[in-house]
C-alpha cells in the first residue's frame, strides 16, 4: 500500500460544486485528463477547464432526465480494474477502455432536501444511484484508484500531488474508509426517512434492522468530565439536536448542558398546549416544575420547590418567553434557558447576562423510538408516552380525591414520568413541593422528598413512578401529611399498601401504568 499512484485520468461527478473549477484546473495543470457528466462538466467548461463528457466515453447519451449517466462498463471497468492483475489490464486493452486513477464524487443533496422540507417527490428525486455506485467501486479498488467524496479534501489531494507526484497507498486507504462511511451514512439517512414515513402497525415487532447515522456538528470542550472527549452530533437527514435548536447567545454549550437541556425540554413538552409551565432541571432531574397563569409566575413557583438546587440549573418553558419571565430569572444563576421562542424584550433582558446560554428549540412531539447504546449493541424501545387524563384511573380508597387534588395528582404523575427511578414527586397547587429521585429503594425516595419538603408536605399529593412494594413508603408519606397518592399498583402487597393509605386517611389512585426511567 505504500506505492504512489500517479493521477493521469480523473472522473468527476459532484453535486457540491464548491471549489470544483479551481480543483479541476489544478488537476489539468498536473497533467490529468478529466472526464465528467451533466452539470459538473458544464461548470468546468464555463470555468475554462477542458473536460471530456461521459457520453463521449460511453457512446450513449444521458438518459431518464440524468438518472442514467455513469452506469456503463466503460466507466465502471475503468474504475474496478485491479492493476496488479494482468488479466484485468488485458481485458481493458481488448475493449479499448482506459483506467481511472482518481474518482471525485459527492452525492445528491438528499439530506439537505429533507431538512428544507422538500415534497415527497422532491426528496425521492434526490436519492442518488450512480454516485454511490461510483464511490463504492473506487473505494473497493483503492489499491488502484483514489476516491474523494468531499471538497474539503481538494487541497490535501493537490498538496500530495505537488509533493509526491501522486497519491500514496496510505492516503488511498484513508480515502476509501471515508468513502464507505459517506455512502453508509447516506443510505442510513434514506432508510431513516422511509422509516419515518411509515408508522409501525400496532402490535408489530420493532424493525428487524435499525440504522441511523450521525454527523459531527462540533467538538465540545470535553464530555461529562474534563478527562473525557466530547462532541455534538446530529442524526443525518434530521432537523438537528433538540429539533434543530439554535443557540441565540451565551458561552459554548457543554456536554452536560445539552443533556440537561434535553431533559428540561422534554418535561416542558408534557404541558404543551396547556397553561404556562416552567421547568428547572439539575443533573438531568427536575428540581422544580410549576404551571401558572403566566410564565413568570410559573418560574417563581417552580423555584420555590428547590431554590438551592436551581443554582446553576437549566430552565425550560413550554411557550414563548416574555420579558417578565426573563426578568423573574435574573436573581438566580442559570446555565441555560430553552424555549420554543423568545420576545425581543426577553432577549434584551437575557442579554444583560452574556454567559447565559439562550437556546431556541421547538417542543418535542410525543412518540418515536428511543435508542440506548450498550456495550456491543443497543436497546431500542418506544418512547414513553404519558397518559394523565384520570378517566382510566381507579380510586381504590374510601376517600376520593378532591378536584384540586386530582389536578395535583395528574400534574405530579406527569413530572414523575421524567424523574430517574425510583421516582417520588410531591406537588401542591400544580407545583412541585419536593422530588426524590434515583434511589435504590422507593422508601428512601419518599424520605428524601418528605425531608426536603418540610412543612410544605402537609396537604400535598404524591406520585410514584412504580408500585410500592411495601407499605413503608406510604406510611412515611402519611406521617408527613400527604393527602393523596397516585401510583401504578400491581404489587403482590397492593392490599397492604392500600390499607396503609386508608389508615392515614389518604386517597389513593391506581393507574395500571408504570413509568420507570433508568
Question: How many angstroms separate the CA atoms of 105 and 171, rounded?
Answer: 17
Contacts of residue 216, Cβ cutoff 8 Å, sequence gap at least 6: 231, 232, 233
Catalytic site includes residue 283? yes
Say which of 8, 17, 30, 140 is annotated catalytic: 140
Phi-psi region of 187 (alpha: psi -120 to 50; beta: other; left: phi over 0): alpha
Length of the chain: 518
Question: How many angstroms separate the CA atoms of 322 and 299, rounded?
Answer: 12
Q: Which three cell numbers stand for residue 407?
A: 389536578
Closest CA to 336 of 325, 350, 318, 348: 350
Contacts of residue 42, Cβ cutoff 8 Å, sequence gap at least 6: none
Q: Which three cell numbers stand for residue 490?
A: 400491581
* E-assigned strand segments in 226-375: 230-235, 246-249, 277-282, 285-291, 313-317, 334-339, 357-360, 369-374
**Contact by Cβ (8 Å): 324, 278:** no
What 335-340 contacts at long range (C-beta under 8 Å, 24+ apart), as own/partner pairs, is 335/257, 335/260, 336/250, 336/253, 336/257, 336/260, 336/261, 336/264, 338/242, 338/245, 338/261, 338/264, 338/265, 338/268, 338/314, 339/268
> Half-sphere exposure of 30 toward its Cβ, with a 13 Å CA cutoff?
25
Tell me the torsion sign for CA atoms 97, 98, 101, 103.
Answer: negative
Degrees to nearest 5, angle at CA 328 with 322 and 334? 100
Count CB-CB contacts under 10 A for residue 46: 9
Which residue(s) pair with 395 in the sheet?
A: 509
**Contact by Cβ (8 Å): 244, 361:** yes
Contacts of residue 151, Cβ cutoff 8 Å, sequence gap at least 6: 14, 16, 18, 19, 20, 23, 106
- Tell the residue number behind the cell numbers 475554462, with chain if given: 48
Closest CA to 516 of 376, 312, 372: 372
**Contact by Cβ (8 Å): 335, 358:** no
Question: How many angstroms separate the CA atoms of 288 and 272, rounded?
Answer: 17
φ/ψ (deg, to 5) at 314 = -120, 135
Catalytic site includes residue 140? yes
Say which of 283, 284, 353, 428 is annotated catalytic: 283
Question: How many angstroms separate the CA atoms of 279 and 303, rounded?
Answer: 9
Q: Which amino acids are annotated catalytic? A: 140, 283
Amino acid at each position: 500500500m505504500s506505492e504512489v499512484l500517479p493521477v493521469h485520468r480523473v472522473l468527476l461527478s459532484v453535486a457540491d460544486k464548491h471549489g470544483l473549477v479551481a480543483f479541476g484546473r489544478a488537476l489539468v495543470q498536473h497533467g490529468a485528463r478529466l472526464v465528467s457528466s451533466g452539470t459538473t462538466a458544464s461548470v468546468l467548461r464555463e470555468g475554462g477547464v477542458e473536460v471530456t463528457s461521459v457520453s463521449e466515453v460511453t457512446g450513449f447519451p444521458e438518459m431518464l432526465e440524468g438518472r442514467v449517466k455513469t452506469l456503463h462498463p466503460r466507466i465502471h471497468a475503468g474504475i474496478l480494474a485491479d492493476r496488479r492483475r494482468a488479466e484485468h489490464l488485458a481485458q481493458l486493452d481488448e475493449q479499448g477502455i482506459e483506467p481511472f486513477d482518481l474518482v471525485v464524487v459527492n452525492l445528491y443533496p438528499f439530506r439537505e432536501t429533507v431538512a428544507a422540507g422538500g415534497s415527497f417527490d422532491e426528496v425521492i428525486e434526490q436519492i442518488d444511484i450512480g454516485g454511490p455506485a461510483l464511490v463504492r467501486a473506487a473505494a473497493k479498488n483503492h489499491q488502484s484508484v483514489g476516491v474523494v467524496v468531499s471538497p474539503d479534501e481538494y487541497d490535501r489531494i493537490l498538496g500530495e500531488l505537488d509533493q509526491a507526484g501522486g497519491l500514496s497507498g496510505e492516503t488511498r486507504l484513508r480515502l476509501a474508509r471515508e468513502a464507505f462511511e459517506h455512502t453508509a451514512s447516506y443510505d442510513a439517512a434514506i432508510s431513516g426517512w422511509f422509516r419515518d414515513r411509515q408508522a409501525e402497525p400496532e402490535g408489530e415487532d420493532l424493525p428487524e434492522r435499525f440504522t441511523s447515522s450521525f454527523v459531527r456538528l462540533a467538538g465540545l470542550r470535553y464530555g461529562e468530565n474534563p478527562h473525557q472527549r466530547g462532541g455534538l452530533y446530529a442524526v443525518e437527514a434530521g432537523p438537528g439536536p433538540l429539533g434543530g435548536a439554535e443557540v441565540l447567545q451565551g458561552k459554548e454549550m457543554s456536554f452536560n448542558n445539552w443533556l440537561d437541556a434535553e431533559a428540561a425540554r422534554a418535561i416542558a413538552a408534557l404541558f404543551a398546549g396547556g397553561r404556562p409551565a416552567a421547568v428547572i432541571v439539575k443533573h438531568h432531574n427536575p428540581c422544580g416544575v410549576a404551571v401558572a397563569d403566566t410564565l413568570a409566575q410559573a418560574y417563581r413557583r417552580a423555584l420555590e420547590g428547590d431554590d438551592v438546587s436551581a443554582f446553576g440549573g437549566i430552565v425550560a418553558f413550554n411557550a414563548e418567553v416574555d420579558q417578565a419571565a426573563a426578568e423573574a430569572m435574573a436573581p438566580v444563576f442559570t446555565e441555560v434557558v430553552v424555549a420554543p421562542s423568545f420576545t425581543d424584550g426577553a432577549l434584551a433582558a437575557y442579554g444583560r447576562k452574556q454567559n447565559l446560554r439562550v437556546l431556541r428549540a421547538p417542543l418535542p412531539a410525543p412518540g418515536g423510538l428511543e435508542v440506548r447504546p450498550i456495550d456491543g449493541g443497543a436497546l431500542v424501545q418506544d418512547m414513553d408516552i404519558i397518559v394523565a387524563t384520570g378517566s382510566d384511573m381507579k380510586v381504590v380508597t374510601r376517600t376520593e380525591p378532591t378536584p384540586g387534588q386530582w389536578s395535583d395528582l395528574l400534574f405530579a404523575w406527569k413530572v414523575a414520568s421524567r424523574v430517574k427511578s425510583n421516582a417520588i414527586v410531591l406537588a401542591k397547587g400544580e407545583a412541585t413541593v419536593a422530588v426524590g429521585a434515583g434511589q435504590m429503594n422507593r422508601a428512601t425516595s419518599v424520605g428524601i422528598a418528605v425531608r426536603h419538603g418540610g412543612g410544605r408536605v402537609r396537604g400535598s399529593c404524591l406520585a410514584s413512578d412504580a408500585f410500592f412494594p411495601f407499605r413503608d413508603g406510604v406510611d412515611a408519606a402519611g406521617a408527613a401529611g400527604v393527602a393523596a397518592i397516585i401510583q401504578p399498583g400491581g404489587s403482590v402487597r397492593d392490599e397492604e399498601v392500600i390499607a396503609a393509605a386508608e389508615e392515614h386517611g389518604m386517597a389513593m389512585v391506581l393507574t395500571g401504568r408504570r413509568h420507570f426511567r433508568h
